[in-house]
Amino acid sequence: MNKTIVELVIVGKDHEGVVAGFTNFIFQNDGNIEKINQNVVKGLFGMYLEASFVKKLDMEKFSKEAENLARNLKMEVNIHYEISKSKKVAVLVTKEPHCLESILDARTKRKINGEIVVIIGTEDTLSPLAKKAKIPFVLVDEKDQQKAEEKIISIIKKFNVDLIVLARYMRILSPNFVWRYPNRVINIHPSLLPAFPGAFAYVQAYERGAKIVGCTAHYVTEDLDQGPIIFQDAFAINENETIESLKKKGQKLEASTLLEAVKMHLDERLEVYWGKVHVKPKRSK
């Protein structure tokens, strides 16, 4: 039996009636609630609701009604429909090219089960890579992070993005952004979390005499670098290692680790529950 899956993310100031309003809305449209999760941080309320519909859904009518309900409740709502087989991917970057290059190379070789529909950069350093790949590049260089996120959200809506990949995107995303895309934002961190957090992980590893260094691909949550871990990899450090050689090896590993996490997500091999990622085995061809 074919089902339409609809994801709704509701964000706004915490007050009564929001949960009841949206759950009743789903039931009134003959939907079944599959998942629901709520959280409140410093007065900001966020709710993720996933519903399924067996009957044919008028998506335009449903969206307008959901937006009207959100407006009446003084909330914002983002709606995502799971209808296309090929998932659409947005890649967020700053200036380091290695992770983006790995993803674009996998795309060229048809090793990624998704469509890169837009590349968003905090500066235009990597725009030539996007141009060469014939993928739209959008510059979002606002210094104010709230304004930057508002613009990114509008771009993601425009391209109907399923997955957001942070390919060394050097900005911290706010809860207001992250809550809108639960388990749909993947980040690469240059450390085996939780050790050596921050932008200078390789320098810290070198200075503290680490024997193994690695990186972690994880889903992004409102808790910085604490999201569910998807995939990790590491390599040994030899005595003749320099900071530069260590960084070069680390960046190569970052690229392959992030790509592996993206491929697993797009292949629908990942499930998240109780804060942990569970990986399904590969499907036999």
Supply the residues annotated as catalytic. Answer: 225
Sign of the alpha-carbon dihedral angle for 142, 145, 147, 151: positive
- Could you give the count of Cα atoms lying within 13 Å of 48 in the half-sphere of its Cβ? 16
Residue in the block written with tokens 């070198």? 206
- Listing DSSP states for 135-163 in one string gives --EEE---SSHHHHHHHHHHHHHHTT-SE
Helices (H) and strands (E) in the chain, counts: 8, 13
Nearest to 46 by CA among 89, 75, 87, 7: 75
Give the list of residues 6+ apart from residue 164 with CB closer than 8 angstroms, or none. 89, 90, 92, 156, 181, 184, 185, 186
Q: How far apart are CA 275 and CA 42, in angstroms?
A: 21
| Three state DSSP letters for 249-282 | HHHHHHHHHHHHHHHHHHCCCEEEECCEEEECCC
Provide the CA 118 distance to its chain's centre, in angstroms. Answer: 14
Q: Which ranges of the chain does DSSP label H, i.e. alpha helix? A: 18-28, 59-72, 98-108, 127-133, 145-158, 175-178, 201-207, 243-266
Q: Indicate the residue type of 248.
A: K
Rounded-to-integer distance, Cα 218 and Cα 185, Å: 8
